[in-house]
């Protein structure tokens, strides 16, 4: 009974984790759901990404933290005319650190570089970095080299311009008109193929041992840089991070735990 009530409290709180709703559209290009389910996923349960994030598997949490010592980011895909000028990184307040520059290539790309509606294929490239906030001073390390300092141990993600300056944030309140331009989808132990350079010989049968396990604290994040809101303009696989619970989420969790305490008192009575 105790464990069941605690699980219910956590589940209730997690349902409020995403502060702002976004709508992920289908379109003529390979959409985010198709890319995940049909290109990346080798084995496991498919995800529901299209439509309103209030009812889909995607969330829009603005801030994150390391679930383990360090994290990693792999650039997966860019389907946009601005792909050669995009950068990607993490931010905290007005401070930011670039993780990928505009020259970085995604693991996947359009089969026809002149046609964004063409199929998505393995690019034969690999862009991956590790990053970590360390020490009480929150130094930011990228590939084990200190490159900046944040004011706290949480961070958001950004899509930047060719100079590395952020222009679109995971925190919608920092975007023009407060528009939500970021979504994230978490794993549940599915097996993914992150390309020949990362997962060589990754196949569904007879074994998935050479594939990437998409765990609960690994996320596929997508940005929208234009007006079609398909969120495939910059797609990154981020490992070992979790969303920072928002005040409303913490309040719900507190209510759930209070209910658990009341139930236990009734049991003792």
Say if residue 260's pLDDT is above 70.
no
- What string of DSSP letters covers 93-116? TTEEEEEE-TT---SEEESSTT-T
State the average pLDDT over residues 162-176: 97
Q: Strand 182-186 relative to strand 212-214: parallel, antiparallel, unpaired?
A: unpaired
DSSP character for 18? -
Percentage above 70 pLDDT, the chain: 85
Place of tokens 């490992």: 239
Say if residue 196's pLDDT is above 80.
yes
Say if residue 250's pLDDT is above 60.
no
124: alpha, beta or left, given left = phi > 0 and alpha = psi -120 to 50? left
**pTM of this prediction?**
0.86
Question: H/E/C letters for each residue in 33-48?
Answer: HHHHHHHHEEECCCCC
Say if residue 6's pLDDT is above 80.
no
Say if residue 63's pLDDT is above 50.
yes
- Cα–Cα distance, 109 to 7 (Å, whole number): 41
Domain boundaries along the sequence of the chain: 1-17+245-269, 22-244
Q: pLDDT per residue over 72-92, tens digit each?
A: 999 999 999 888 889 999 999
State the average pLDDT over residues 263-268: 49
104-109's contacts with Cβ under 8 Å and 24+ in sequence apart are 104/75, 105/75, 106/75, 106/76, 106/77, 106/78, 106/235, 107/74, 107/75, 107/76, 107/77, 107/194, 107/195, 107/197, 107/198, 108/35, 108/39, 108/76, 108/77, 108/195, 109/77, 109/78
pLDDT of residue 210: 94
Percentage above 90 pLDDT, the chain: 75
- Cα–Cα distance, 100 to 125 (Å, whole number): 14
């Amino acid at each position: 009974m105790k464990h069941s009530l605690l699980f219910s409290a956590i589940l209730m709180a997690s349902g409020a984790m995403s502060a702002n709703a976004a709508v992920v559209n289908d379109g003529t290009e390979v959409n985010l759901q198709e890319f995940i389910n049909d290109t990346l996923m080798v084995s496991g349960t498919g995800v529901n990404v299209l439509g309103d994030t209030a009812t889909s598997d995607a969330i829009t949490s603005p801030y994150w933290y390391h679930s383990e010592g360090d994290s990693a980011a792999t650039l997966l895909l860019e389907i946009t005319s601005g792909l050669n000028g995009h950068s990607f990184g993490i931010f905290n307040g007005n401070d930011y650190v670039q993780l990928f520059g505009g020259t970085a290539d995604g693991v996947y790309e359009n089969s026809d570089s002149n046609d964004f509606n063409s199929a998505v294929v393995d690019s034969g490239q690999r862009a991956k970095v590790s990053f970590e906030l360390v020490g009480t001073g929150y130094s930011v390390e990228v590939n084990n080299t200190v490159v900046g300092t944040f004011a706290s141990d949480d961070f958001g993600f950004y899509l930047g311009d060719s100079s590395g300056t952020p222009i679109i944030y995971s925190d919608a309140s920092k975007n023009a008109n407060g528009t939500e331009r970021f979504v994230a989808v978490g794993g549940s132990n599915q097996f993914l193929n992150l390309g020949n350079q990362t997962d060589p010989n990754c196949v569904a049968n007879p074994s998935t041992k050479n594939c990437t396990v998409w765990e609960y604290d690994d996320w596929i994040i997508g940005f929208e840089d234009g007006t079609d809101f398909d969120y495939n303009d910059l797609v990154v696989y981020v490992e070992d991070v979790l969303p920072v619970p928002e005040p409303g989420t913490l309040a719900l969790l507190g209510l759930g735990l209070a209910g658990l305490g009341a139930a236990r008192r009734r049991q003792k009575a």
